[in-house]
Structure formats: C-alpha cells, structure tokens
Amino acid sequence: MKTLFTTIAILTVTLGFSQSKFESAILRGKQMINDADTVTAMQNAVNYFQRIAQKETTEWLPWYYQAQIICFMASSNSDLDAKENQLNKALELIEAGKKIEKNAELLALEGFVQMLRVSVDPATRGQKLSPVVFGLYNQALAIDPQNPRARLFLGQFQYGTAQFFGTGFEEACVNVKKAYDIFENQPSEPTIYPSWGMGSARAALANCNQ
Amino acid sequence: MRYTLLLQFILFTLAATGQTILEGDVKDKTSEGLIGANVYIKDSYDGGTTDFDGHFRFETFETGDQILVVSFVGYETLELPINIEAAGNLQIELKESFNSIAAVTITAGAFEASDEKKAVVMKSLDIATTAGATADITGALNTLPGTQKVGESGRLFVRGGTSDETRIYIDGVEASNYYGATANGVPTRSRFSPFLFKGTFFSTGGYSAEFGQALSSALILNTNDVDPENKIDLSIMSVGLDAGVTRSWNDQSLYVKAGYMNLNPYNDLINQRVNWIDATKSWDGTLAYKKKLTNGGMFKVLGMTNTSGFHLEQYSTLSEKGYYDVQMANQNSFITSNVNLPVGDKDSFYFGGSASWNRDDLTYDETELSTPDFNMHWKAKFIHEFNAKQIINTGAEVFYTHVDREITTATDSVTLDYSNYNLAAYGEFDQYITEKLMMRFGARLSNQSVVSSTTLEPRFSMAYQVGEFAQFSLATGQFYQTPKKDYLLVTNTIDQERAQHYILNFQRIKESKIFRVETYLKDYDHLIRFQDQYDPTTFSNNGEGYAYGLDVFWRDRGGFKNIDYWVSYSWLKSERLFQDYPEKTTPGFSTAHNMSFVLKKFVPAIKSQLGATYSVTSGRPYENPNKEGFNESKTDVYQDLSFNMAFLPRPEVIIYLSATNLLGQDQVFGYRYANTPNDNGVIASEAIRLPAKRFLFIGCFITIGAFNKQLENL
C-alpha cells in the first residue's frame, strides 16, 4: 500500500512537472528576452521559442514571442531591406499564432508591426497603412478594452499622427495615460502572458506631460 | 520484490531524466559555419543555437532514437534521425533553399505598380499622384517609356500600336468599355478610379499566355483586398461631388459610392474653344464587396453603373454653318466577380466573370449613331506547384460580344450587328533552374467564331540575374487579335491580325534607384486594309507593319531627401500599311521621341506633396492633301508642363490642386481637312486641339471614420 502511494506520489510529481513544463519554459524564455542585449542573444531567444512552438502546437504564446523579438530586432535595424524582411517574417509568425487563437495581444502586435512597416516608407505607405494600423488596434481593444499594449500603441500612433499634422495631442495622451494606469495596476507576479511595454508607456506619458 | 520493482521504476525515471550533451557543427556547402541556426530534438524543447563558428552544444533529456531538426533562414530545414547516446560529434551541412520571393522575375515588357512587392517601378499611390495625369490610371502610365502621347485621345498607345491593341483586365477578367464615352477631340478618361486598385501590371509587350486578343499590350488591374476599417469618404471637387461609405466586419467589407459630375460651372469660368451647350454631366454608382474566405481564399464583386452626356458646338471653318453640333449620351454598366480558392499548399483555383453593357448615342449634325453593345467574359484557371521551382498555370475562357450599330442620316438609315464567341485555353509552365535563372513556356489556343479562325500562339520568356541587383530578361511570342468592331460590322470575311514580339530588357534595382533599358522589335502582319470602310468587297488582310525602338527609365526615390523623380525616354521607329493607307508609312499616332520627367517632392513645413511633370513629344505625322505623298507632314513638337499639389491640413483631409499646360504651349495634335478644294484650289484645314488650353482641378477629399473611430473605445 505504501508502495502504491509512493508510486502515485512519484507519478503525480512527474505529471505535475510535465504540466508546468510549458509554463516554466515560457517564463524562462521571457527572461531570455529581457536579458537579450545582442543580436545573437535575440536570435537565441527566437530559436528557443521556435522549439517550444513546434512542440506545443496548440499554444499561441511561442509564436507571439518569436514575433515580438523579431520586431525588436527590426526596429533597431538600419538596413531597410533587411528590416522589411524581418517585419514580413514577424507578420507570418503572428498569422500562425492567429490560426490558433485570434486574440487582442496578437492583433495589437500585428498593429505594431504594421506601424513599423509605415516607418520603412512613410510617404507611400502612410496613407494606405494608417487605417490598417488603427483598424488592428481598434479590433484588439474591442476584444479586450483593458489591453495595455493595444491602448499604448494606439496612443503612440495618434501621437505621431498629431505631431505630423500639428494637431492636438489630447486624444493621444488620454490613451497613453489610460495605458499607463493599466500597466501600473498589473499584478507584479510573473505571468506567461505578454507583460512588456511599461517603459514605453512611462516615456510616452512623460512626452504628454511636457 | 516490490521494493525491487519500485527501485527499478525510480531508476528508470531517473535514467529518463538523465542528460546527454549533443554537439557538432552546422555548415553550408562551402564549409562556412552558419551562425544562429536552430538545432533541436523534434517534439521536445531541447536544442541550441549555433555560435559564430557554426558550433552548437546543448543538453537533452531525451534518449534513444530521435529526430534532430536543423533550421536556418534561407536554407532547407534538415531532419536527421539520430541515436542520442551514439550521436557523437555531429557534422551537418545545410542546403540553400529555393526562395521564390527572392528569385528572379520576368521584367521584359512589364511595368508593375504595387506596394507589396519590392522590385516594382511604381507604388500604387504613384498612379494617383502623378502631375498631369489628374488621377487617371492611363494618364499616369503615359509617363512610362513605351507609350506614345496622343493627347486628343486620352487612351494608351503602346509602341507604335493603336489604342485598340491594348486589352484591359480587372482581377483577371476583361474590363470592356474601360474608357469613358467621348467624342472626337475630347480626351477620354478611365471609368475606374485608381483608388479601387492595389496593384497595376502594365505590359508593353511579350506578355503571358494567360492573356490574348491584344496585338500590343495588356493592362492588368488588381482590386483592393478587404478594407480594414469603416469609413465615409466625401469628395468636393471643382467638377462634382462624390460620397462613399465603407463597412468592414468579420474579414469582409462593403463599399458603396455615388457621384455626380457637372462641368458647366467650370466651363463657364475657364475659356473654352468649343461652345458648350451643356457640358459633361454624369451620375455614377460603385459597389464593391470582398470577403476573405476561411481557407485563405478571397471572394470579390465589383459593380459600376454610369450615365453621362454632353452637348457642344465645335467651331469649324470647314462647316457651312461655322460649327459642328455634337451631342453624346452614354449609359454603361459593368460587373465583375471572382473567387480565388487555394487547395492545400500546392494548388489553387480561380473562377471569374465579367459583363459589360454600353450604349452611346452620338449625334453629329444630322447624323445619329447609336451603339448598344454587350460583352461577357468567363474564365477558370488552375495553378499547380509541382515544387517551388516548377509551376504550371492553365485555364480556359469564353468571351461573348454582341455589337449593334444604328446609323441614321438625313436621308438614310442603316442597322448593323454581329456576335462573336471567343473560346480560348492556355497553359504556361514556369521552370526555375536556379534562383537566378528562370524560363517560362506558354501557349494559347483561341477560336473566334465571327471570322471562323483558330490560332495557336506560342510564348516564351526568361530572366537571368547578374550580380545582386541586376538582371536581363527576354520575351517573345505571337499575338493575334480579331479586327475591330467597326470592321466586323461591315464584313466577316476577314481574318485575325497578328504581331510577333521580341523584347530584350536589362534592369537594375538597388535600394531606391531603378534603371531599366529595353529594346524591342514588333512585326505586324495580316493587318486589315480597305479602300472604302463601308464596302466589304474592298477589305483584305494584306496589311503589314513593324515597330522597333529603345525605352529607357530611371527612377530615384529618396536619393535626395523628400524628392522622388523619374525620367522616361522612348525612341520608336514604326511604319504600317493598313486601313486605307496607300503606302507603308509612319502612322499619325506614332512619334519618334517621347520623354517624360516626373518629380514629386514632399515639403513637411507646408504638409504638402508637390508634383510636376514635363513631357515632350516629337512631331506627329499627318496627311496634308495639298502636298505630294502620304502622311508627309509633321506637327510641331508637343510639350506640356503640369503641376499638382496635395495639401494635408489634417489627417482626414486632403486638398488637391492640379493644372496642365502651365507653359501655355499651343498644343496641336494634327489637322482636319475639307473634303474639296476651295476657290483658290487649296484644301482648307484646321488644327486639332483640346477643348481648352489648360485644365485646372481643385478638390477636397475628406475621410471620416478610420481616424475618429477610436473615440468609441474611450
């Protein structure tokens, strides 16, 4: 009897371990993203999430994080052709994630990628892609009005638009402030879900308060 | 015993969680280490990334026989069966993958405007923002090499061909009656707004076997995909009003637009060379529905209807009463629908159809001409990818045309009509030898019922990339076309006309700079000739002709800050023996030299894009019956300097201003002659000019929605 209990205990531990393996892998990956300060480290993190994605075929998070890192790589890339390729790659990854679950986080990130695509060629893309970008943020917020990233990106895009046209920042800043408040009230314990953006929100809010 | 079992179980579990180190190197075929490759055990998290030497090393909890996956961008993913314990030092070589996006494309004869692809000459927006084009697709394409400016027409004339030699397609099916109704000397415009399309493919020759019935050129327009946002568009223009509503939901969108144009107020303000009794007035409606299908396909419908008319007196010394009375009424409807259905990764089906109804009622003094016609096109196509390097595109289509003419003069009345079925099938095979070399073999089989003629048209093209940015491509093929409506109404004992194209192209695109040079030869035969256009017994297919020349294009977007410009130059030599020409000579629509210089500059300080287009065209031949010979005279050089400005005061407002012929040049396109000599024995003439020296346009375009909708979410 004792043996049986021991066996069950071992099995439970083993099973329990395998259940949280995905979660701990994601948490470890998020730490890799935070620590990545070189292209090599970022590529390493992309590969890491690619491995999780091929194993966990019903999870959208590994696709999301791959796309997120590639976005970061693209945003600091000065070679426009390479940047364009990276952004297209990010869109592909987001599309793969959306096939599993079409949610606010993926839509917000897609808007973020499209925003970066505008910056590659603002003169020809601005007019056509601006509605696409706004559309994606609005879709994301329709699903989850409390998504801080969708709210923040929307505010930032409105800010940029207002800056270009020399119109007021009120609307943009309302969204930035709202995003900042949501970030502030985020629980501090680690989560496997996206939690980045607080720094940008603080910076955007500082701009608004100038 | 039990304890032994338990021990064994624990040991087994521990063994299962024991770690093995896997290491090795990933290299390309030149033994160069690949940096950043992903190496992992399939269906596990265990893996690593190669370092600067292509070396990898990682720990794994897996045991026994496993599959090692090695993946790296630009290389074929490798799956290698290994035994974890016996793996040793793994030496892996990756093969470069074939990337159809990076692969060479055929550019001979082809100009593409697209925002999606990189190696294109124009962006979609360019079509709308080219000065002098006044947001007309054809106007913008007329700034590209290979086109000849025929200012009084407004149509596309490509490499010595007539405007009838270009066919226009929307989403794969024919757009009949693409041009708006007009009368002699009043240039036409496309019925289709450039904003309906995401991409334009303009072929000046040597085009795909998928398209036929055009001796010179094919213009392929692709409509926008699902609109991303709800919005309302309002246009307030010097020539009319326009309002559109877009509704977007669940991967589908509906766009409805209505417009009214009236040029009377404008014509009253600006000096006109004709006496407008009633200027061009029109009503139009557009409907577009798009749905993204769950399997990745797309369904589209586009419908348009339009009614327009005008009445004018064209001053003429050749007319006894001093003017010709011209009155035009037009009714036109067009509908097209198509669906794209991908099946798996390798196959896709396309079905499309279009129908077009058109009726012009033209009164020219005492003569009335009524031209109701109906066109229909159905097409099915199938694309199969054997592998990334071998793709077949095949399809079948049927065109139906019915044309009526009622001609009434003071004394007489004639009714003519004909119908034609055109059945066609085509196949085209793309073979990539490498990413740098590809060939396309095609053929088209086509039957025309009205002239009882069947033709087989071979096509071939290839492209070869040299270095990183440059490529050569060539295209050749046979192109047949049924004689134009006016002739088929008179006789059906004629045959199709034919052209053979040979094109050699060099293109270099590096960053924002594009350089293209192209040389070509177009050989015409079986062209229609007649002595009397209304006497069927005088018709034959004995005509012939040729065109050869050189086209050069240079564009630099952003080489200078906020400046985008392009220069086109075409040299053309063309002669024809056709229609009622008594001898082989250069036709009136062919000009030896055509040059365009297009400049766009964004000025952030005034939030405006400024544009200018300068065009110059050498003299056009015309027939002067007072002189010996045929088409022996030439008009003066044609020049035009146009300007436009788009001012964006707010994100949702664009104010647009444009003006043509700033230099005020007297633009003469040819001369009309009297039928008989006057008392001095001279046949009197008068110049063909536009109805006004300049065209000015002011418009205000407002978009409500996309930018304001976020209010709802606050």
Domain boundaries, chain A: 32-101, 124-210
Q: Are residues B79 and B119 in the same domain?
A: no
Q: Are residues B407 and B538 in the same domain?
A: yes
From A22's Cα to the closest Cα of chain B, the distance in A is: 9
Domain A124-210: which topology? 1.25.40
**Range picked from A129-138, B413-422, B689-698 for highest mean pLDDT:** B413-422
Chain B positions touching A52 (Cβ under 8 A) are 45
> Is residue B172 included in any domain, yes or no?
yes
The pLDDT, as a whole number, for residue B5 is 55
Q: Are residues B601 and B703 in the same domain?
A: yes
Q: Are residues B134 and B169 in the same domain?
A: yes
What confidence category does residue B710 fall into, taking pLDDT thresholds of 50, 70 and 90? Answer: very low
A132-142 exposure pattern, b = at least 16 Cβ within 10 A, e = fewer? bbbbbbbbbbe
- Looking from the CA of B673 toward its CB, the CA atoms found within 13 Å total 12
- Joined tokens for residue B216: 């010179």
Q: Residue B509: left (phi > 0), alpha (psi -120 to 50), or beta?
A: beta
SS (HEC) of B518-539 = EEEEEEEEEEEECCCCCCHHHC
Mean pLDDT lowest among A78-87, B284-293, B501-510? A78-87
- Does B8 have pLDDT greater than 70? no
The span from the CA of B289 to the CA of B300, in Å, is 6
The pLDDT, as a whole number, for residue A90 is 96
What confidence category does residue B435 fall into, taking pLDDT thresholds of 50, 70 and 90? Answer: confident
Chain B positions touching A174 (Cβ under 8 A) are 714
Nearest to A47 among B6, B44, B49 (CB): B49
The pLDDT, as a whole number, for residue A5 is 55
- Does B80 have pLDDT greater than 60? yes
**Range picked from A116-125, A154-163, B315-324, B494-503 for highest mean pLDDT:** B494-503
The span from the CA of A161 to the CA of A122, in Å, is 11
The pLDDT, as a whole number, for residue A16 is 47
DSSP B707: T
Output the domain CATH number for residue B454. Answer: 2.40.170.20
Q: Are residues B77 and B155 in the same domain?
A: no
The pLDDT, as a whole number, for residue B10 is 52
Q: What is the mean pLDDT of chain B?
A: 91
Q: Do A54 and B69 touch (CB under 8 A)?
A: yes
Q: Are residues B411 and B449 in the same domain?
A: yes
Q: Are residues B31 and B139 in the same domain?
A: no
> Is residue B267 included in any domain, yes or no?
yes
The pLDDT, as a whole number, for residue B230 is 86
B161-195 exposure pattern, b = at least 16 Cβ within 10 A, e = fewer? bbbbbbbbbbbbbbbbbbbbbbbebbbbbbbbbbb
* β pairing state of B633-634 and B621-622: antiparallel
% of residues, chain A, pLDDT over 70 = 90
CA angle B339, B343, B345 (to 5 degrees): 125
Q: Do B714 and A50 touch (CB under 8 A)?
A: no
Cβ contact B685:B674 at 8 Å: yes
Chain A positions touching B562 (Cβ under 8 A) are 123
What confidence category does residue A168 fall into, taking pLDDT thresholds of 50, 70 and 90? Answer: confident
SS (HEC) of chain A = CHHHHHHHHHHHHHHHHHHHHHHHHHHHHHHHHHHCCCHHHHHHHHHHHHHHHHHCCCCCHHHHHHHHHHHHHHHCCCCHHHHHHHHHHHHHHHHHHHHHCCCHHHHHHHHHHHHHHHHHCHHHHHHHHHHHHHHHHHHHHHHCCCCHHHHHHHHHHHHHHHHHHCCCCHHHHHHHHHHHHHHHCCCCCCCCCCCCCHHHHHHHHHHHHC
Cβ contact A60:A101 at 8 Å: yes
Q: Which residue of A has its CA nearest to B16?
A: A14
The pLDDT, as a whole number, for residue B713 is 35
Computed from CA positions of residues B630, B636, B637, B638, in that sequence, does the dihedral angle turn out positive or negative?
negative
- Does B17 have pLDDT greater than 60? no
Lateral strand order in the sheet of B78-83 = B47-49, B38-41, B65-71, B78-83
ipTM of the complex: 0.84
Residue A83: name the closest of A127, A115, A52, A124 by CA. Answer: A115
Cβ contact B67:B82 at 8 Å: yes
> Is residue B250 included in any domain, yes or no?
yes
**Side chain identity, residue B32:** E
- Does A13 have pLDDT greater than 50? no
What confidence category does residue A46 fall into, taking pLDDT thresholds of 50, 70 and 90? Answer: very high
The span from the CA of B640 to the CA of B658, in Å, is 13
User: Mean pLDDT over residues B392-399, rounded?
Assistant: 97
Q: Which residue of B has its CA nearest to A122?
A: B562
Cβ contact B359:B370 at 8 Å: yes
Nearest to B45 among A55, A136, A145 (CB): A55
Cβ contact A135:A110 at 8 Å: no
What confidence category does residue B2 fall into, taking pLDDT thresholds of 50, 70 and 90? Answer: low
The pLDDT, as a whole number, for residue A172 is 93
From A165's Cα to the closest Cα of chain B, the distance in A is: 6
Mean pLDDT lowest among A20-24, A56-60, B38-42, B256-260? A20-24
Cβ contact B395:B412 at 8 Å: no
Residue B219: name the closest of B154, B158, B299, B305 by CA. Answer: B158
Nearest to A123 among B228, B248, B602 (CB): B602
Q: Specify the DSSP element, H or E, that contains B324.
A: strand B323-343
| C-alpha distances out from residue B386 to B133, B141, B383, B393, B432, Å | 43, 36, 10, 11, 12
Q: Are residues B33 and B155 in the same domain?
A: no
The span from the CA of B168 to the CA of B201, in Å, is 10
- Does B165 have pLDDT greater than 50? yes
B58-97 exposure pattern, b = at least 16 Cβ within 10 A, e = fewer? bebebeeebebbbbbeebeebeeebebeebeebebebeee
Chain B positions touching A154 (Cβ under 8 A) are 710
- Does B86 have pLDDT greater than 90? no
Partners of B360 in the β-ladder: B330, B371
What confidence category does residue A19 fall into, taking pLDDT thresholds of 50, 70 and 90? Answer: very low
What confidence category does residue A120 fall into, taking pLDDT thresholds of 50, 70 and 90? Answer: confident
DSSP B589: T
Q: How far is CA B143 from the centre of its chain?
A: 14
- Does B355 have pLDDT greater than 50? yes
B594-614 exposure pattern, b = at least 16 Cβ within 10 A, e = fewer? bbbbbbbebeeeeebbbbbbb
CA angle B462, B432, B347 (to 5 degrees): 115
- Does B681 have pLDDT greater than 90? no
Q: What is the mean pLDDT of chain A?
A: 88
Q: How many domains does chain B have?
A: 2
Q: How far is CA B445 from the centre of its chain?
A: 23
DSSP B6: H
Output the domain CATH number for residue B23. Answer: 2.60.40.4130
Q: Specify the DSSP element, H or E, that contains B339.
A: strand B323-343
Q: Which residue has the higher pLDDT, B228 or A32?
A: A32
Q: Which residue has the higher pLDDT, B141 or A128?
A: B141
Question: How far is the first Cα of chain A from the last one, in angstroms, to the nearest whole number?
Answer: 72
Cβ contact A129:A91 at 8 Å: no
Cβ contact B616:B595 at 8 Å: yes
Q: Do A6 and B564 touch (CB under 8 A)?
A: no
- Whole domain around residue B443: which residue ranges? 110-713
- Chains A, B: CB contacts within 8 A come to 112
How many other C-beta atoms lie within 10 A of the C-beta of residue B302?
A: 23
The span from the CA of B616 to the CA of B67, in Å, is 67
Q: Are residues B528 and B633 in the same domain?
A: yes
- Does A1 have pLDDT greater than 60? no
With a CB cutoff of 8 Å and minimum separation 6, the contacts of B277 are: B311, B312, B313, B327
Q: Are residues B493 and B581 in the same domain?
A: yes
Nearest to A10 among B13, B49, B713 (CB): B13
> Is residue B13 included in any domain, yes or no?
no
pLDDT digits (tens, 9 = 90+) for B586-629: 999 999 999 999 999 988 888 888 999 999 999 999 999 999 99
A161-164 CB contacts, 8 Å cutoff, 24+ apart = A161/A130, A161/B651, A161/B707, A164/B607, A164/B651
The pLDDT, as a whole number, for residue A210 is 80
Q: Which residue has the higher pLDDT, B362 or B271?
A: B362
- Does B563 have pLDDT greater than 80? yes
Partners of B379 in the β-ladder: B352, B397
Mean pLDDT lowest among A51-65, B296-310, B691-705? B691-705
What confidence category does residue B118 fall into, taking pLDDT thresholds of 50, 70 and 90? Answer: low
> Is residue B264 included in any domain, yes or no?
yes
| C-alpha distances out from residue B220 to A12, B168, B199, B644, Å | 64, 6, 8, 26
The span from the CA of B654 to the CA of B473, in Å, is 41
Identify the residue among B42, B49, B77, B556 best suited for mutation to test binding to A, counting A beta carbons within 10 A and taking the highest.
Answer: B49
Nearest to A131 among B48, B229, B711 (CB): B229
Q: Do B10 and A10 touch (CB under 8 A)?
A: yes
The pLDDT, as a whole number, for residue B557 is 84
Chain A positions touching B7 (Cβ under 8 A) are none
The pLDDT, as a whole number, for residue B156 is 94
Cβ contact B547:B566 at 8 Å: no
Q: Are residues B634 and B687 in the same domain?
A: yes
Cβ contact A134:A118 at 8 Å: no
pLDDT digits (tens, 9 = 90+) for B436-491: 999 999 999 999 999 999 999 999 999 999 988 899 999 999 999 999 999 999 99
Nearest to B49 among A43, A138, A141 (CB): A43
Chain B positions touching A141 (Cβ under 8 A) are 710, 713
- Joined tokens for residue A149: 């990233």
Cβ contact B148:B157 at 8 Å: yes
Q: Are residues B125 and B58 in the same domain?
A: no
Residue A54: name the closest of B93, B47, B25 by CA. Answer: B47
Cβ contact A113:A91 at 8 Å: yes
Residue B347: name the closest of B379, B387, B378 by CA. Answer: B387
Identify the residue among A17, A21, A47 best suited for mutation to test binding to B, counting B beta carbons within 10 A and taking the highest.
Answer: A47
The span from the CA of B628 to the CA of B698, in Å, is 47
Residue with tokens 């001796």: B215
